[in-house]
Structure 1
């Protein structure tokens, strides 16, 4: 691909980033407003420039751009991270994305999310996030793990293990919640997520009621 082809491709990626904001944020009114006022978009665009420089081994300039972007937006993205089209960082203050992260297309990330490592290990040490994933506020995804396509990570979750596609994770540590084998709806709702602890308590209460009924029957038989 020639230089002009690469430039056209880069412009198309920037356009998809704008469209992602318009599609997923009801507060976004028009492209002009999005370009001027969305810090998440500014951070993504700064990263795209820094990543190109990083790939060509202009490491210092790339890191300087990423640090300036961090200062201006509150979002820290290492220039080595790979981010696909249509990534939307909503109210992104405190978001951290590590060097070996790989983020697919149309991923939504809310404020306070960390895609980080677990120590000083070398090589691939940050998460791989597949297409159409939603990571809610304050979630921490740590280590070289894979978050499957169309998965949802609930607010405040700490994810340390692989997440299958079309599933929902909540809690600390993160637990995969299976919803009767039905695919999780892609409505990007970070609030209405199931609570596995409450579900466990509900099941236990049902078992206790059954045991009480059985004991009551046994007592009745004993009196006879």
Structure 2
């Protein structure tokens, strides 16, 4: 748990006052309590978690239940109005901004999106349903994503249209290196 907390603090630029960090601190505590033995102690920690979860939800406006699976370097940027379903899953290096909803499309189908690595979600975006978001994806502000998004893409609009990124992260061209020796 403490390694994850240190990593979360680094992901939030070492800012203890970052409300996204507070949310992740409570999230990590909620995940940790599942492994506590004996059961009586775990129940006590569950009560503490539920209290802290509600406090952080009221103060920050972010709902990130401990059932969500998140990868390393998860960043909650610009707190407020963020709702993430407990069924959602995130890869590494994801960023979520204010007003984002990641959740169920239909109440009868309790399946939320699965997001890959290096996904950047713009303010006000909605990502809903049994869909997969690939690696190195940017979801534009206020986009409504209801279908799968392949790797190295951008999703923009309502409903979202999918476009290939011009210069995907993993394939960025290196600047040519001038190997000539220059001297004084």
TM bucket normalised to smaller: 0.7 to 0.9
- Alignment partner of 1:101 out of 88, 107, 113: 88
Q: CA 1:54/1:100 → structure 2, altered by over 3 Å: closer, same or farther?
A: farther
Q: How many residues align?
A: 164
Which structure has more relative contact order (CA 8 Å, sep 6+)? It is 2
Q: Distance in 1 between matches of 2:33 and 2:11?
A: 24
User: Does the 8 Å CA contact 1:54/1:79 hold for their aligned counterparts?
Assistant: no
Instruction: Find the partner of 1:142 among 116, 128, 151.
Output: 128
Q: CA deviation at 1:54?
A: 5.2
- Alignment check: 8 A CA contact 1:170 1:176 kept: yes
Counterpart residue number, 1:4 = none
CA apart distance, 1:142: 0.4
- The yes-or-no answer on 1:12 pairing with 2:30 is no
- Contact 1:16–1:85 (CA<8 Å) still a contact in 2? yes
- 1:166 aligned to 127, 136, 152, which one? 152
Q: How does 1:1-224 map to 2 (within 5 A)?
A: 10-22=1-13, 31=14, 34-35=15-16, 37-53=17-33, 61=47, 62-123=49-110, 125-179=111-165, 182-183=167-168
Q: Quick one: structure 1 residues 16 and 96, their matched pair in 2 at CA, closer, same or farther if it must change by over 3 Å?
A: same
Change (3 A) 1:54 1:113: farther
Output the TM-score relative to the length of structure 1.
0.66
Please report how far the alpha carbon of residue 38 of structure 1 lies from its aligned counterpart in structure 2 after TM superposition: 0.5
The structure with the largest helix share of the pair is 1
Unaligned runs of 5+ in 2: 37-41, 172-184
Q: Report deviation, 1:121.
A: 2.5
Q: 1:179 Cα deviation (Å)?
A: 4.4
In the superposition, the TM-score normalised over structure 2's length comes to 0.80
CA contact (8 A) 1:50 1:65 kept: no
Structure ID, larger Rg: 1
Unmatched segments (≥5 aa) in structure 1: 1-9, 23-30, 187-224
Structure 2 CA distance for aligned equivalents of residues 176 and 14 of structure 1 = 35
Identify which range, 160-169 or 66-75, moves more after superposition. Answer: 66-75
Change beyond 3 A, Cα 1:169–1:142: same
Q: Secondary structure at the match of 1:102?
A: coil
Q: Structure 1 residues 53 and 119 mapped into 2: Cα distance closer, same or farther (>3 Å)?
A: farther
